Structure 1
């Protein structure tokens, strides 16, 4: 099994949750999301982020607004919809349960079998 592939798949599994969480803090520009995700070592490229943002918008979980920029074209800032907030709340519960379950398994000592 390829370790790098397993690591990528684990990160992809929580990407949607992380993106919604970042947006939940307030209006956010896509490049700011990329910077935060990269700093947290959740490797994402624009080619992954933008289709995911479009899918989340089409699902009614987020919306966006255009804001004029003094240094170029208008920028698209993303915001959560009420449905997005509810969905994020449910993901938060799932994350906490999953985190607890994984920690339970990982914390058990090997029986030397």
Structure 2
């Protein structure tokens, strides 16, 4: 799947994978790949700026943790992030319903004119 297909929906994707609990960047990338059946492969150059932006806007809370000698940043949803995720899901359902009605129109009823 083209990376452009995610554009405009990246925030919702990231918030959704963090809904179950905190993850670090690589684990987020892996979760997106797993949940999409391998169709979505986010690059670090895409994900980390988005995570930073979501943190700056208060939708995520980041914290540093140690793993052996390495430190990595873990991200968790804030209450505002949970509300935004709910909004993203509503917007997604509306978007897919509208596009679906265009791409897969219902057959005209008897007597209707196009």
For residues 86 and 48 of structure 2, the distance between their equivalents in structure 1, rounded to whole angstroms, comes to 23
List runs of 5+ in structure 1 lacking aligned partners.
Answer: none
User: Could you list the runs of 5+ residues in structure 2 that have no partner in the other structure?
Assistant: 109-114
Q: CA RMSD in A?
A: 2.1
Aligned residue for 1:88?
A: 85
1:48 maps to which of 34, 46, 69: 46
Matched pairs, number:
105
Q: What does 1:14-93 correspond to in 2, within 5 Å?
A: 14-39=9-34, 40=36, 41-70=39-68, 72-93=69-90
Q: Distance in 1 between matches of 2:33 and 2:45?
A: 14
For residue 52 of structure 1, report the CA deviation from its aligned partner. Answer: 0.6
User: Which consecutive aligned stretches of 4+ in structure 1 deviate over 6 angstroms post-superposition?
Assistant: none
Please give the TM-score of this superposition, normalised by the length of structure 1. 0.80
What TM-score does the superposition give when structure 2 sets the normalisation length? 0.80
Q: Which has the higher helix share?
A: 1
